[in-house]
Amino acid sequence: MTYAYRLRDTLPFDTPCGPSGLQSARDLMGYVTRGETMPKREDIKKILILGSGPIVIGQAAEFDYSGTQACKALRGAGYRVVLINSNPATIMTDPEIADRTYLEPLSEEFAIKVIERERPDALLPTLGGQTALNLAKGLFESGVLDRYGVELIGANYDAIQKGEDRQLFQQAMAKIGLNTPAGKLVDSLEEAFVFVETIGYPAIIRPSYTLGGSGGGVAYNEADFSRIVRQGLHDSPVHTVLIEQSVLGWKEYELEVMRDHNDTVVIICSIENVDPMGVHTGDSITVAPAQTLSDKEYQRLRDYAIMIIREIGVDTGGSNIQFAVNPHNGEVMVIEMNPRVSRSSALASKATGYPIAKIAALLAVGYHLDELPNDITKETKAAFEPSIDYVVTKLPRFAFEKFVSASDTLGTQMHSVGEVMAIGRTFKESLLKALRSLELDVRSETEGMSVSELESKLYPNPLRLPVMMELLRRGRSAQYLYEKTMVDLWFLAQLREIVQVEQEIRSLPDPTEWNWELWREIKRIGFSDGELARLTGTDDRELRRLRLKRGGAPVYKTVDTCAAEFEAYTPYHYSTYEWEDEVKTTLKERVVILGSGPNRIGQGVEFDYATVHAVWALRDAGFETIMVNSNPETVSTDYDTADRLYFEPLTFEDVLNIVDREKPIGIILQLGGQTPLKLAKALSEAGVPIWGTSAEAIHFAEDRDRFHQLCQELGVPQPRGTTAKSPAEAIDLAREIGYPMMVRPSYVLGGRAMMIVHSEAELEAYLEDVYSQLPERPSILLDEFLADAKEIDVDAISDGETTVVAGLMEHIEAAGIHSGDSACITPPASLGADVIDTIKRYSVLLAQAIGVRGLINIQFIVRGEQVFVIEANPRASRTIPYLSKAIGHPLAKYAALISAGRTLQELGFTETPIPDFYSVKEVVLPFLKFRDLLPVLGPEMRSTGESMGIAKDAYLAYYKAQEGANAPLPTHGNVLLIGEDLQELDREFTSLGFNVTRHPKSGATPEYQLLVDTAGTQELRRALEHGLPYLTSRQAAEWALKAIAAVKEKPLTIASVQELHANQQGSKNRETA
């Protein structure tokens, strides 16, 4: 054994030799806390943020949450923030959120105007979904960003390209040695067969450039393959199809990744899809964290995720990466990556407490993860990976009932319109909480089905989960379900345990004999009192009483990012049945505000807006605010919105538990839409102090007969109407009312099953086809339908003494179209002063008589000088955010303060404001997502979102609203007119320089720039699929015509909301002076 020499012999141990010795502990902490070295970018002063525009399927309220967080964070860091978003229903477009807010279309044309006017230093495109990313890409490609010296921050152009372009992405993955599903573009059947040999069956076929994915499919064998490829080659305008390796049935995972300029990468959350590959993740039941991966497998995905974010080159911020894992051998495929904040990021934020959007925004301006504090623990840093000690389940909420003829099969295209999230200590608990958060009675739907019916519903569809549970109840094995669905056996085992416990509960002695231990074991599985009542054949109120007698109240745990390793300061809680409760209460007076639950058609982000406003107003007024909600896509469920957040189902039991725990002095439920309103009666009976309009008044307005009586007493005219108990009676009574007539079942959910019938034959058809399909047999409401009349929406506010009409919104489309689907304008463009006065007078009378304390929405019909009231809803309506922005008054805040005892006088809101500009609201509709449906409006609401256009000129405002709704009107070219009596339109379009045709030509692509089809022909579907603007009513066509004329004459200018409202205040001051 020889060593040349020993260093130690020649060098005394204590010889100083380094530039520095070991630092002291204080020095070390200095590294952690050195604030002065924060590398925030000082060369940037003003940042442009792009929102995501109107809510559409696949791009919803989650971007309001992320955009709002980003604006707040960047302003907090000292930057000036400019925002463009055409969606008025959002919190982010509130004047207080950004320095300059442009409620303008998210189009290049308007973005250039904003950039020209504001000259921002940087553009942050990663927080407004695909819309923002696409717009930023366009602005980059057209050289606009370069010309105005605007730097793209967050994600650079190359990274966006690599993340979005399928081929570039596959190349990038191949470069780092990761697999993606093999795919090849082919233009012949022969070539397709050669390729499919290499990948095997099943194979996915995607025709190129067919919108809405038509013509594609999954082939399980040669025959299918040959048929689908042939069809695809035929359907594709360029006659090519993409053949892709199928990973159907593989386990699907998502990782949320954050990266900073220093190349620190952390994984915020792993998400496992209960529905395996083949169902869009937005439509899948998902669980956080991943449940069925060993550490070795999880760390491999983590390593891949880090490699991918580095290879794609996302500079900073959050990304979402999806993987497929073969359940039989662990083989991994990279499916896709979103180089931006996504719906899953919002879910991951809510699931872990880690504010992804906020941190992503700060990283984009140079901060490092290890320098930003973790708000929740205060002492630790944002550079860590959250560890959670609970399970989060997300369930999607669908709207197939609104699109009756559409197939309910779920696939690679997203169909859900909203989602719920629930937190429990186990998967079972969180799943059962999530199921009841959905507000759907899925249990009774499946209970009545036969085994063979149930077995036929095991393909991916919205009902699959309850069907699987029902089949387990009927004795089918988990293995059987696994073979049919490929849902991992672990999840199926959990479902089986739930079903087993159900059976055990049935065989238990009477609930009066249950001791606390038994209660706890049952409740911690996740069963609600309602479900237990069903299982034991008792009443849920009685069970509640028994349970509380045994001390069985839930405890509330904290979401803290660190599994209790550090002290948490965030008041973000969920319930469970265990030992220790962590909620810290104060001596302040508390108010509970109920949120709006899952988004659905008819109840969307507008209600989140209203409840968040209530929280802010009451917090400023000195109350401690408590938010309860179950929707992860919202600002209301951000942990710093309210003083305390309970992420809980909005059911009677769960809300009452919170009320018992918090003992608030008031609870506000008039701002969250139907979800909290449904609880009004029960909560009121349970002695909960309901603030604002009383539960009785709310139900009074819903009672048709009492409302009718009231209108008669007040002398407010209504269209003639009556109620029939049976179809036969309906036909008799209809003769008295006369046709056309509005017919609907007595309970109405967003206009479901509502129809206008023009003759007895049509009424009979309705009773036969629609009414007979309804599960129960409700009575039938018949109402005179006033054809060619105008419909007016009114939002008014009352403190009991004074009632102020906040605004009148004139519908563009004639009466008969659901108010949620009509475009409208405020102030009204065509109503005479007398009519306006009449409407205001009636509104005040109704509000006072009903006893409103807060907001009321009233719908009127105007024919000539005649005004009729059709319905009144004493609650916040979906027009509140739009109207608030149009008049510059935060109506939801006023309503909250009124319910706390303030008066309109004190609030300084005593007159109907008359803005000096017009605001038009236009809607967006999800027809493209539902194959073969005609995009025709009717009395059933189907829009998912809205845009707002603001201008001094009413028609320019309409023009902007159309562009904001992604249906920009052409100023020249060809117009196709289909329908009767359109000669006038024909002439006017011609005089504006359009080529007008009256008959559609068959061809691959439509040869027009605008379609007006009042007859509802198939041409509408074609226009929709080709992304061309179409108008389905004569009124809309007339407005479009005038808007096109206006835009040819007058310049399109822009103004920020802040300026508009300041002018508003200014002109008011001048008036009073």
Partner 1 sequence: MTLLNKPPAALILEDGTVYYGYAFGYVGTTVGEVVFNTAITGYQEILTDPSYHGQIVTMTYPHIGNYGVSVYDMESNKPFARGFIVREFSRVASNYRSNQGLQSFMEQHKIVGIEGIDTRALTRRLRTGGVVKGVIFHGRVDKALQEALSQKARNHEDIDGRDMTPEVTTSLPYARPTFRNSPRVVLIDFGIKHSIVYKLEQAGAEVIVVPAQTTPAQIMALNPFGLVLSNGPGDPGGPQYAHDTVWQLLGLLPTYGICMGHQLLGLAVGGRTYKLKHGHHGANTPVKNLVTGEVEITSQNHNYAVDVDSIPGHQFEATHINLNDGTLEGMAHLRYPVFSVQYHPEASPGPHDASYLFKRFIEEVNAFEGARAIPAVQGVSRL
**H or E stretch including 793?**
strand 790-798
Residues 1005/1007/1010/1014 CA torsion (nearest 10 deg): -80
Closer by beta carbon to partner 1, 518 or else 731: 518
Q: 185, 241 in Cβ contact below 8 A?
A: yes
Instruction: Tell how strand 1030-1031 and strand 1010-1013 pair up.
Output: parallel
Gap between the terminal Cα atoms of the chain = 103
How far is Cα 408 from Cα 418, in angstroms, rounded to an integer? 16
Q: How far, CA to CA in Å, does 196 sit from each of 200, 221, 277?
A: 6, 10, 20
- Kindly identify the residues of this chain, within the stretch 703-742, that bind partner 1 according to CB under 8 A: none
- Region class of 1027: left (phi > 0), else alpha (psi between -120 and 50), else beta: left
Q: How many Å is the maximal CA-CA distance in the chain?
A: 116
Does 516 participate in binding partner 1 (rule CB under 8 A)? no
- Shortest distance in whole angstroms from residue 279 CB to partner 1: 19
- Shortest distance in whole angstroms from residue 521 CB to partner 1: 5
- Shortest distance in whole angstroms from residue 1053 CB to partner 1: 48
Q: Of these, 277, 308, 369, 836, which contacts partner 1 (CB under 8 A)?
A: 369
- Shortest distance in whole angstroms from residue 181 CB to partner 1: 20
Closer by beta carbon to partner 1, 22 or else 833: 22
Structure tokens at 1032: 């389905």
Closer by beta carbon to partner 1, 234 or else 378: 378
| Cβ-count burial 211-238 (b if 16+ within 10 Å, e if not) | ebeebbbbbeeeebbeebbebbbebbee
Closer by beta carbon to partner 1, 517 or else 620: 517
Closer by beta carbon to partner 1, 430 or else 1035: 430
How far is Cα 1039 from Cα 23, in angstroms, rounded to an integer? 74
Does 921 participate in binding partner 1 (rule CB under 8 A)? no
Q: Of these, 57, 133, 136, 293, which contacts partner 1 (CB under 8 A)?
A: 293
Q: Of these, 191, 385, 542, 1025, which contacts partner 1 (CB under 8 A)?
A: 385
Size of the site for partner 1 (CB under 8 A): 89
Q: Of these, 19, 448, 908, 1051, which contacts partner 1 (CB under 8 A)?
A: 19
Closer by beta carbon to partner 1, 310 or else 841: 310
Q: Of these, 197, 200, 294, 687, which contacts partner 1 (CB under 8 A)?
A: 294
- Kindly identify the residues of this chain, within the stretch 950-979, that bind partner 1 according to CB under 8 A: none
Q: How many residues does the chain have?
A: 1073
How far is Cα 244 from Cα 246, in angstroms, rounded to an integer? 6
369 alpha-carbon distance from chain centroid: 29
Stretch that binds partner 1, among 389-397, 448-456, 742-750, 858-866 (CB under 8 A): 389-397
Stretch that binds partner 1, among 50-58, 292-300, 392-400, 617-625 (CB under 8 A): 292-300
What's at 214, amino acid-wise? S
Does 504 participate in binding partner 1 (rule CB under 8 A)? yes
Closer by beta carbon to partner 1, 193 or else 569: 569
Q: x-or-dash pattern for partner 1, window 546-585, by CB under 8 A?
A: -----------x----xxxxxx----------xxx-x---
| Cβ-count burial 488-521 (b if 16+ within 10 Å, e if not) | beebbebbbebbebbeebeeeeebeebeeebbbe
Structure tokens at 218: 């999954």
Q: Of these, 188, 409, 477, 500, which contacts partner 1 (CB under 8 A)?
A: 500
Closer by beta carbon to partner 1, 514 or else 1039: 514
Does 622 participate in binding partner 1 (rule CB under 8 A)? no
Q: Of these, 158, 453, 521, 732, which contacts partner 1 (CB under 8 A)?
A: 521
Question: What is the DSSP secondary structure assignment for residue 584, as one 8-state letter?
Answer: P
Q: Of these, 108, 191, 235, 497, which contacts partner 1 (CB under 8 A)?
A: 497
Q: x-or-dash pattern for partner 1, window 308-347, by CB under 8 A?
A: -------------------xxxx-----------------
How far is Cα 1017 from Cα 654, in angstroms, rounded to an integer? 48
Which position has the token pair 């000292």? 78
- Shortest distance in whole angstroms from residue 355 CB to partner 1: 17
- Shortest distance in whole angstroms from residue 331 CB to partner 1: 10
- Shortest distance in whole angstroms from residue 481 CB to partner 1: 13
Q: How far, CA to CA in Å, does 752 sit from each of 601, 667, 782, 815?
A: 11, 30, 15, 17
Structure tokens at 519: 């209660």
- From start to end of 884-1033, where are the E strands? 918-924, 945-951, 974-978, 995-997, 1010-1013, 1030-1031
Stretch that binds partner 1, among 42-50, 291-299, 706-714, 960-968 (CB under 8 A): 291-299
- Kindly identify the residues of this chain, within the stretch 270-289, that bind partner 1 according to CB under 8 A: 289
How far is Cα 847 from Cα 890, in angstroms, rounded to an integer? 19
Strand order in the sheet with 203-207: 183-186, 241-245, 203-207, 217-219
**H or E stretch including 309?**
helix 295-312
Does 386 participate in binding partner 1 (rule CB under 8 A)? yes
Closer by beta carbon to partner 1, 187 or else 578: 578
Q: 597, 420 in Cβ contact below 8 A?
A: yes
**H or E stretch including 833?**
helix 833-850
- Shortest distance in whole angstroms from residue 569 CB to partner 1: 14
- Kindly identify the residues of this chain, within the stretch 401-430, that bind partner 1 according to CB under 8 A: 425-427
Closer by beta carbon to partner 1, 155 or else 288: 288
Q: Of these, 170, 214, 380, 461, which contacts partner 1 (CB under 8 A)?
A: 380
- Kindly identify the residues of this chain, within the stretch 859-878, that bind partner 1 according to CB under 8 A: none
Structure tokens at 848: 């006072």
- Shortest distance in whole angstroms from residue 567 CB to partner 1: 8
Q: 680, 746 in Cβ contact below 8 A?
A: no
Q: x-or-dash pattern for partner 1, window 238-267, by CB under 8 A?
A: ------------------------xxx-xx
Stretch that binds partner 1, among 467-475, 519-527, 698-706, 1026-1034 (CB under 8 A): 519-527
Closer by beta carbon to partner 1, 32 or else 194: 32
Structure tokens at 1039: 């407005």
- Kindly identify the residues of this chain, within the stretch 32-91, that bind partner 1 according to CB under 8 A: 32
- Shortest distance in whole angstroms from residue 1019 CB to partner 1: 52
Residues 6+ apart with CB under 8 A from 8: none
Cα 1049–1053–1059 angle (5° rounding)?
A: 145
Q: x-or-dash pattern for partner 1, window 476-495, by CB under 8 A?
A: ------------xxx--x--
Stretch that binds partner 1, among 15-23, 109-117, 632-640, 689-697 (CB under 8 A): 15-23
- Shortest distance in whole angstroms from residue 496 CB to partner 1: 9
Stretch that binds partner 1, among 73-81, 455-463, 499-507, 1009-1017 (CB under 8 A): 499-507
Q: How far, CA to CA in Å, does 554 sit from each of 128, 433, 617, 771?
A: 38, 13, 30, 43
Does 1004 participate in binding partner 1 (rule CB under 8 A)? no
